[in-house]
């Protein structure tokens, strides 16, 4: 289904299967250094993909062999009937070493695209038509397209085009200058992509807490301890004069971070209940019972 760029969480941020030149269809990437990769999950009948191809062509001209462009199939038959057949046609041409030529012809032809168009383009490219016909319906080609789609879904791909730049999902604008800035990889872009990849790790929150605890122990047990206590016990307030809320730094961190923690927990529970594992009532019964049981405890009398 064609869609505008959308944000991602979890494993969707990172490309699960690295580029494999022996399997993937790759253009460029033969420069000695400074190579940047773009993996596109696309649909030949998707209008957004058709617009993006012009931007990618300009990027290839600007970056030359530094740009390694990889195309993976993600036909959406429900949104674009016939797209699976067209994806198979591109893969069948690839069996004769003409994938990119067929790729370009398919995008240059305005929809609708049919099987007759595929054979017309195969003749235009000088392909062995009988072999092309056989490959078009071969299990190998069908499995290839299905594997790309299944892999894309595992990687959080829900619409086309979905792009991964240097293995990290790109959710920025699709215009030439925005993408060129991301592909040129200035320091800020590298730091941002690394930070997003770290934040997407399931253990990132725990790692940050462990690091903070280690730093606190370090400062509290070294000659820096007096300065650490001075900082933690210093106070500052927020609000209007006369009714200002004033707490120590330690209290702000303790109470404030606790509130943020429960906010995030609430948001995560809401997401799980609407689109995650708890969306199924039967699957949610056990966690709900366990949570209620954890909150309740019998009252004990202080009298004998």
Model pLDDT for residues 214-240, shown as the tens digit of each residue: 888 888 888 888 888 888 888 877 766
User: In this predicted structure, what is the pLDDT of residue 9?
Assistant: 43
Q: Looking at the domain assignment, is residue 1 inside a domain?
A: no
Of the candidate ranges 68-82, 85-99, 161-175, 273-287, the one whose mean pLDDT is the lowest: 273-287
Q: What is the DSSP letter of 2?
A: B
> What is the pLDDT at residue 204?
66
pLDDT over threshold 60, residue 5: no
Residues 61 and 44 in one domain: yes
Examine the pLDDT at 192 and tell me if it is beyond 70.
Answer: no
Q: Are 255 and 247 in contact (CB under 8 A)?
A: yes
For residue 6, the model assigns a pLDDT of 40
Do 186 and 245 share a structural domain? no
CA distance 304 to 298: 16
pLDDT (mean) for 185-208: 62
Could you tell me if 106 and 63 lie in one domain? yes
Domain match, 251 and 231 both = yes
Q: Strand ranges (DSSP E) for the chain?
A: 25-28, 36-42, 67-73, 162-165, 168-170, 235-238, 245-248
Q: Are residues 168 and 253 in the same domain?
A: no
Residue 50 is encoded by which pair of tokens?
Answer: 């058709």
- The domain of 231 spans 204-295
Domain boundary among 141, 165, 198: 198
Mark whether 118 and 46 lie in a shared domain.
yes
* pLDDT band, very low/low/confident/very high, at 185 (cuts 50, 70, 90): low
pLDDT band of residue 18 (cuts 50, 70, 90) is: very high
Report pLDDT for 241: 64
> What is the distance between the alpha carbons of residues 304 and 47, in angstroms, rounded to a whole number?
78
Residue 289 located in a structural domain: yes
Q: What is the pLDDT of residues 75-88, one digit of tens each?
A: 999 999 999 999 99
**Within this chain, do residues 148 and 268 fall inside the same structural domain, yes or no?**
no
14 and 109, same structural domain?
A: yes
Q: Are residues 163 and 229 in the same domain?
A: no
What element of type H or E holds 28?
strand 25-28
Residue 180 resides in a domain: yes
Q: Of the ranges 40-44, 72-76, 104-108, 192-196, which one carries the lowest mean pLDDT score? A: 192-196
Predicted TM-score (pTM) of this structure: 0.62
pLDDT interval class at 107 (50, 70, 90):
very high
Q: Are residues 89 and 174 in the same domain?
A: yes
Question: How many CB atoms sit inside 10 A of residue 42's CB?
Answer: 28
pLDDT averaged over the chain? 83
Predicted pLDDT of residue 126: 97
Residue 242 is assigned to a structural domain of this protein: yes
State yes or no: pLDDT of 300 exceeds 70.
Answer: no
Indicate whether 19 and 104 sit together in one domain.
Answer: yes
Predicted pLDDT at 194: 62
Number of domains in the chain: 2
Give the distance, in angstroms, between the CA of residue 219 and the centroid of all CA atoms in the same chain.
38
Contact 43, 195 (CB under 8 A): no
- Residue percentage of the chain with pLDDT more than 90: 49
| 3-class DSSP state of 72 | strand
Which conformational region is residue 103 in: left (phi greater than 0), alpha (psi within -120 to 50 degrees), or beta?
alpha
Of 142-146, 252-256, 299-303, the least confident? 299-303
Clarify whether residues 213 and 151 are in a common domain: no
Q: Give the CATH number of the domain where residue 38 resides.
A: 3.40.30.10
Rounded to an integer, what distance in angstroms lies between the CA atom of residue 35 and that of residue 51? 24
Residue 197 confidence (pLDDT):
60
Last residue of a domain, one of 198, 230, 253: 198
**Residue 174 covered by a domain:** yes
Q: Final residue of a domain: which of 155, 170, 198? A: 198
User: How confident is the model at residue 213, as a pLDDT?
Assistant: 81
Tell me, yes or no, whether 65 lies in a domain.
Answer: yes
pLDDT tops 50 at residue 142? yes
Coil/strand/helix, residue 51: helix
Confidence of residue 8 (pLDDT cuts 50, 70, 90): very low
Indicate if the pLDDT at residue 160 is higher than 90: yes
């Amino acid at each position: 289904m064609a869609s505008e760029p959308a944000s991602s969480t979890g494993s969707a941020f990172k490309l699960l299967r690295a580029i494999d030149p022996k399997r993937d269809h790759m253009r460029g990437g033969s420069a000695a250094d400074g190579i940047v990769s773009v993996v596109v999950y696309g649909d030949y009948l998707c209008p957004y993909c058709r617009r993006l191809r012009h931007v990618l062509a300009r990027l290839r001209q600007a970056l030359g062999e530094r740009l390694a462009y990889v195309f993976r199939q993600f036909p959406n038959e429900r949104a674009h009937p016939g797209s699976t057949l067209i994806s198979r046609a591109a893969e069948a041409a690839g069996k004769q070493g003409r994938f990119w030529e067929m790729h370009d012809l398919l995008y240059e032809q305005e929809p609708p695209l049919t099987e007759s168009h595929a054979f017309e383009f195969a003749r235009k490219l000088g392909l062995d038509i009988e072999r092309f016909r056989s490959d078009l319906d071969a299990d190998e080609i069908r499995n290839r397209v299905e594997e790309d789609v299944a892999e894309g879904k595992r990687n959080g791909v829900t619409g086309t085009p979905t792009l991964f730049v240097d293995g990290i999902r790109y959710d920025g604008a699709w215009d030439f200058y925005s993408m060129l800035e991301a592909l040129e990889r200035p320091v800020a872009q590298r730091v941002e992509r690394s930070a997003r990849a770290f934040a997407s790790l399931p253990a990132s929150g725990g790692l940050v807490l462990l690091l903070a605890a280690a730093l606190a122990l370090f400062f509290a047990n070294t000659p820096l301890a007096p300065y650490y206590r001075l900082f933690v016990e210093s106070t500052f307030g927020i609000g209007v004069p006369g009714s200002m809320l004033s707490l120590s730094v330690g209290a702000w961190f303790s109470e404030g971070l606790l509130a943020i923690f429960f906010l995030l927990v609430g948001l995560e529970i809401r997401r799980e209940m609407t689109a995650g594992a708890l969306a199924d009532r039967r699957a949610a019964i056990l966690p709900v019972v366990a949570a209620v049981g954890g909150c309740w405890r019998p009252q004990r009398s202080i009298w004998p």
